[in-house]
Amino acid sequence: MKRGFGFYASIYRKILIQDLKSKMSYRADFIISTFGMIMTNLSGFLTFMILFHNFPSINGWDYDHMLFLYGFSLIALTPVQCFFDNNWNLRFMVRSGDFIKYCFRPINVFFYFISEVFDVKGIGQFIFGLSTFVYAWCRIGIPVTFVTIAEAVLFLITASLFMIAIMNASAATCFWIINSGYVMVIMFRFKDFAKYPASIFNAVFKFIFTFVIPIAFVAYYPSLIFVTPDNVPLLTWLSPLIGAAFFYLSYKFWMLGVRRYDFTGS
Amino acid sequence: MYNCSLAYNILINIKTSKCFCGKCDSVTRRIIMTDKAIVMKNVSKEFKVLNRHEGLKGSLRDLFSRDYKSIMAVNNVSLTVDKGEIVGYLGPNGAGKSTTIKMMTGVLEPSSGEILVNGLVPYRERTKNSESIGVVFGQRSQLWWALPLIESFKLLRDIYLIPQKDYDDMLDLYRSLVDIEPIINKPVRQMSLGQRTLSDILAAFLHNPGIVFLDEPTIGLDVSMKSRIRDLIKGLNEVKGTTVILTTHDMGDVDALCRRIVIIDDGQKIYDNDIDHLKTYFGSYRTLKMRLSDDTWIEKEIDESRTDVMQEILSAQKEKGVRDIRLEEISTEEVIRKIYEGEKSA
Amino acid sequence: MTNIRKLTALTRAGIIEALQFRLGTIVTLLGNLIYLALVYYLWKAIYASSGMDVVNGMTFYDTMIYLVLATAMFNLLEVFVIWDMSRSIQSGEIIMHLLKPMRYRLYTFWSYSGSHVISFFLTFLPTFVLVFIITKGAIPLGMNLVYFVLSLILALMINYNVEMLVAPICLYTESTWGVNIVKETIVLLLSGATIPLSFFPEGIRKVVEYLPFRAIYDIPLSILLGKAGKSSIGSVGGCLCIQIFWIVLLSIFGNLFWNRAVKKITVNGG
């Protein structure tokens, strides 16, 4: 392979460095956006607090465990925010015909498109999520061993794949339908429910949120490994594989859209 | 499976008779590459578009019905381009120029017919094909918007795996052809349209591709920038032997750069010959201008194959008296206009 | 005074445009259905865990209706004025808008009106009917429906005015995303769109009462549920008056800000 993993990693790193350099020159935008990101997280946290101000527990999950789930979901949602944010621009590019520029280079179109934007604001969310996660981890009293930490890292990465897959797939709908913005907005709102235990749903919806719009994997299934260590369902152990599958399928769907798109937008 | 019927034909032409059906090995392609830059054979592209109905009722109907009509954007076009040629690819808006270029660059798959670009089927080997082509699409910059030009160049160097020496040589060549110092450290988003186009053209040639497609490169530029860009294209074509496919509405570009032009209208090729032949396409036209004795100018378009210029002047002299005459060559622009209009009325 | 026919022509054009987004409409509807399911199960579980039927004056069905309709309202009210304006500022198109014989603020409002009409009938109404059926008639049917629609229209105008007040910030900073997200977060949280205001702790609720945001979601929905002072004409009228008050205030400030911003455009030439 002339252009293998090493090639793509080095290109991504170079684009990232250049991108960060140029972002520093737009300080006002950087500050306002970071402020906006903090506001969103704060608002989400306030909603959470208000909920628990009125109700002591949800479906057997008490405050600490819910907080754990909340922190887990925030971390798992960071990669989609940081690395895959350009998906939000896809529909504008496709509509205006500007998307065509990604098709002339001898590199993977998806990579080329996604590499163009790195969203620094996601880091704020990551720090917020991590603090919540660590705080809840201590409150619950999960042992700190090599195994638990390795598990946490593995399952956090796994969990992030699901949201990436959801957003890839919903962004790619713009190749078929005109106002795919709504699809993205709706899907993005679903992520707000990732922080609740999937056990609250009935069988049909549990199935939907597990296999169709897999938000139950963003926090619920992976976190069971820490919450109920004696009774971990098979789906949790399988989630790395399922996550990879979802990511791969969403990528294929995205690329199918590129092929199918007739570029008459010019 | 790889369909080789086209390659077979060409190979017969250059007397290397061997059938390569089924699998095409690299040797075959290299032989083709040395011969032709682009070969298109009976290429058509059909689009399906949703038939939208007028008005409020129509929109309601569209919500539930699926009524498609098909449009032939490109209809049975065959074309061969030699290495090193600059071909002007012309046609009125919506004639199918962009569609053809998109097929040649591998972005679109033809509905029927065959295309070989540098001996590759562009749609099937998009990535490989894109290594040996460069593309500039009008006012759409393909560079990284926020990055200084030199950083974009460095990224392209890495993406195209250009050896450092070739890269340095190319930059030296650029410096010899055009003054790049004012733009080299400037982010693309801060550039004027002219500087942006210039940058895009430089970027398209950076990896020394065999073919460069330029889609309306001079659109919206001022006269001096236009001429700088034309000089640059010409210079790169001469030094590097790059084949250039140029789409434009500006006949100045055509006159300055192209020896051969191809005209397409309604998806069909209607003209393919050199530019000198173009002027005799409708007979040899000239414009005769005469100032009459009452100090008014009259203008006549003369087809020299049918009318004698001297006769015209004499008859005018007899009737009204001629004080001054001027004989003007018909411009490329006028011939092209005639061709577009002639096709429409036919 | 701008000719009313000119304005309705914009509405009509908007309706046609919105209808052409056919698949998008269906997807929105489907998405709302799934969202409805999410809300339903979540709050069912919450109420089940609490062991109480009424929390802060809200039953499970009340909460359910409130949140689902808030989502449907979110779709209905959504405008992209900030994005549109920042894009037309960056492309210089804003000058063309200023040359049009209609004031930009008015023009934008009426351009969006068509998609509001479509969105009301294609997504809001079906969602409303569905939620009515699911909650087995927990929505009182009476004059409150009329007041609700009235209040909804006023809410739409407040939302638009908030948007218009914020949008010119894009002239001063290129941070469209940032401005938009700050606005959206504040509006959604403080208007009671994410969690009913009655669940808020007493202190915060007192503050929120004096902000314009609750007039966007909380007032119309309270009117619908008959919680606005037991639905007596007086207090409903009071609520509507609060909404009108905010429309007037916001549009005055929006106009002032906008005029200042326009001066900046004409001075800098876009």
Mean pLDDT, rounded, for C21-46 = 78
Residue A151 placed within a domain: yes
Lowest mean pLDDT segment, chosen from B87-91, B184-188, C8-12, C120-124: C8-12
pLDDT at position A6 over 80: yes
Mean pLDDT, rounded, for C103-126 = 83
**Which of B253, B159, A263 shows the shortest CA–CA distance to B245?**
B253
The single-letter DSSP state of residue B330 is P
Q: How many CB atoms lie within 10 A of CB A203?
A: 7
Q: Are B256 and B230 in contact (CB under 8 A)?
A: yes
Higher confidence at residue A33 or residue A127? A127
pLDDT, residue A78, reads: 93
Distance from CA of B65 to the nearest CA of C (A): 10
Residue A77 placed within a domain: yes
**Long-range contacts, C54-57 (Cβ 8 Å, 24+):** C55/A54, C55/A55, C55/C199, C56/A54, C56/C196, C56/C198, C56/C199, C57/C198, C57/C227
pLDDT at position A135 over 90: yes
A145 by DSSP, 3-state: which? coil
Residue B144 and residue A15: Cβ atoms within 8 Å?
Answer: yes
Q: Which pairing describes strands B86-90 and B243-247: parallel, antiparallel, or unpaired?
A: parallel
C25 to chain B, any CB pair closer than 8 A? The answer is: yes
Question: What separation, in Å, do the N-terminal and C-terminal C-alpha atoms of chain A show?
Answer: 34
Sheet with B36-50, strands from edge to edge, namely B68-82, B36-50, B112-117
B106 to chain A, any CB pair closer than 8 A? The answer is: yes
pLDDT in tens, A115-124: 988 888 788 8
Considering CB atoms only, which of C12, C15, C22 is closest to B62? Answer: C22
What CATH number does domain B83-274 carry, 3.40.1350.10, 3.40.50.300, 3.30.565.10, 3.40.50.620?
Answer: 3.40.50.300
Distance from CA of A260 to the nearest CA of B (A): 9
Q: Are B211 and B134 in contact (CB under 8 A)?
A: yes
pLDDT in tens, A214-265: 999 999 999 999 988 888 889 899 999 999 999 999 999 999 998 877 655 4
pLDDT at position A34 over 50: yes
Residue C50 and residue A40: Cβ atoms within 8 Å?
Answer: no
Residue A177 and residue C27: Cβ atoms within 8 Å?
Answer: yes
Residue B63 and residue C15: Cβ atoms within 8 Å?
Answer: no
pLDDT, residue B50, reads: 63
Q: Which residues of B touch C16 (CB under 8 A)?
A: 55-56, 59
Query: Rounded to whole angstroms, how far apart are CA atoms C70 and B213?
Result: 52
Predicted confidence band of residue C19 (pLDDT cuts 50, 70, 90): low
Residue B107 and residue A18: Cβ atoms within 8 Å?
Answer: no
Q: Is B319 exposed, middle or buried (0-12, 13-18, 19+ CB in 10 A)?
A: exposed
Longest Cα separation, chain B: 77
pLDDT, residue B1, reads: 32
Q: How far is CA B270 from the centre of its chain?
A: 15
Which chains pack against A, by 3+ Cβ pairs within 8 A?
Answer: B, C
Which chains pack against C, by 3+ Cβ pairs within 8 A?
Answer: A, B
What values do phi and psi take at C55, rounded to 5? Answer: -120, 125
Which chains pack against B, by 3+ Cβ pairs within 8 A?
Answer: A, C
pLDDT, residue B262, reads: 92
**Which of A28, A91, A77, B147 shows the shortest CA–CA distance to C178?**
A28
User: Containing domain of residue A86, as a range?
Assistant: 5-260
pLDDT, residue C16, reads: 65
Residue C20 and residue B52: Cβ atoms within 8 Å?
Answer: yes
pLDDT exceeding 90 applies to what percent of chain C?
10
Query: Rounded to whole angstroms, how far apart are CA atoms B312 and C29?
Result: 75
pLDDT in tens, B68-81: 677 888 999 999 99
This complex has an ipTM of 0.83
Tell me which chain C residue has its CA closest to the CA of residue A25: C174
Residue A46 and residue C189: Cβ atoms within 8 Å?
Answer: yes
Mean pLDDT, rounded, for A106-125 = 89
C19 to chain B, any CB pair closer than 8 A? The answer is: yes
Residue C22 and residue B52: Cβ atoms within 8 Å?
Answer: no
Q: Which residues of A touch B160 (CB under 8 A)?
A: 106
pLDDT, residue B13, reads: 40
At position C159, the amino acid (one-letter code) is N
Using the structure block, give the residue that is written with the tokens 């359910």.
C64
Residue A27 placed within a domain: yes
pLDDT, residue C15, reads: 67
Tell me which chain A residue has its CA closest to the CA of residue B125: A106
Considering CB atoms only, which of C15, C22, C25 is closest to B56? Answer: C15
pLDDT, residue B62, reads: 62
Q: Which residues from B are below 8 Å from C when comparing CB atoms?
A: 52, 55-56, 59-60, 62-64
Higher confidence at residue B1 or residue C121? C121
Distance from CA of B245 to the nearest CA of C (A): 30
Count of pairs with CB atoms under 8 A, one residue in A, one in B: 64
Q: How far is CA C117 from CA A178, C25, C111, in A?
A: 19, 13, 11
Strands of chain B, DSSP E: 36-50, 68-82, 86-90, 112-117, 133-137, 211-215, 243-247, 260-265, 268-274, 285-292, 297-303, 322-329
Query: Rounded to whole angstroms, how far apart are CA atoms C142 and C146?
Result: 8
Contacts of residue A125, defined as CB under 8 A and 6 or more positions apart, other chains included, come to A37, A40, A41, A74, A77, A78, A81
Contacts of residue C242, defined as CB under 8 A and 6 or more positions apart, other chains included, come to C215, C219
Indicate the length of chain B as a whole number. 346
Contacts of residue C24, defined as CB under 8 A and 6 or more positions apart, other chains included, come to A177, A178, A179, A180, A181, A182, A183
Using the structure block, give the residue that is written with the tokens 């989630």.
A239
A182 to chain C, any CB pair closer than 8 A? The answer is: yes
What is the Rg, in whole angstroms, of the alpha carbon atoms belonging to chain C? 20
Tell me which chain B residue has its CA closest to the CA of residue C15: B56
**Long-range contacts, C140-146 (Cβ 8 Å, 24+):** C140/C225, C140/C226, C140/C231, C143/C231, C144/C223, C144/C224, C144/C226, C144/C231, C144/C236, C145/C224
Considering CB atoms only, which of B49, B142, B159 is closest to A101? Answer: B142
Residue A265 placed within a domain: no
Residue B140 and residue A98: Cβ atoms within 8 Å?
Answer: yes
At position A4, the amino acid (one-letter code) is G
Tell me which chain B residue has its CA closest to the CA of residue A18: B147
Q: Which residues of C touch B60 (CB under 8 A)?
A: 19
Structurally, how many domains does chain A consist of? 1
Which alpha helices (H) appear in A77-194, and where do they start and end?
Answer: 78-83, 87-96, 109-115, 122-140, 146-172, 181-190
Mean pLDDT, rounded, for A163-182 = 87
**Which of A106, A108, A129, A115 shows the shortest CA–CA distance to A40?**
A129
Query: Rounded to whole angstroms, how far apart are CA atoms B252 and B226?
Result: 9
pLDDT at position A17 over 50: yes
Residue A58 and residue C23: Cβ atoms within 8 Å?
Answer: no
Expressed in percent and rounded to 5, the helix, strand and coil fractions of chain C are 80, 0, 20
Considering CB atoms only, which of C12, C15, C19 is closest to B62? Answer: C19
pLDDT at position A157 over 90: yes
Tell me which chain B residue has its CA closest to the CA of residue A96: B140
Query: Rounded to whole angstroms, how far apart are CA atoms A197 and A217?
Result: 10
**Which of A52, C154, C153, A102 shows the shortest CA–CA distance to B126?**
A102
Tell me which chain B residue has its CA closest to the CA of residue C22: B63
Q: Are A139 and A66 in contact (CB under 8 A)?
A: no
Lowest mean pLDDT segment, chosen from B3-7, B189-193, C81-85, C143-147: B3-7
Low-confidence ranges of chain B (pLDDT < 70): 1-35, 49-68, 280-284, 343-346
pLDDT at position A29 over 90: no
pLDDT, residue C266, reads: 61
Helix (H) or strand (E) holding C54: strand C54-55
Residue A22 and residue B147: Cβ atoms within 8 Å?
Answer: yes
Please give the model's pTM, rounded to 2 decimal places.
0.79
Give the CA count within 13 Å in the CB-facing half-sphere of B59: 15
Please, what sign has the CA dihedral across residues C192, C197, C200, C202?
A: positive
What values do phi and psi take at A239, rounded to 5? Answer: -60, -35
Lowest mean pLDDT segment, chosen from A191-195, B95-99, C152-156, C226-230: C226-230
Using the structure block, give the residue that is written with the tokens 């205001």.
C197
Longest Cα separation, chain A: 59
- Domain range annotation of chain B: 83-274, 280-329
Using the structure block, give the residue that is written with the tokens 């429309």.
C247
Distance from CA of A34 to the nearest CA of B (A): 19
Query: Rounded to whole angstroms, how far apart are CA atoms B253 and C149?
Result: 62
Query: Rounded to whole angstroms, how far apart are CA atoms B285 and B306?
Result: 10
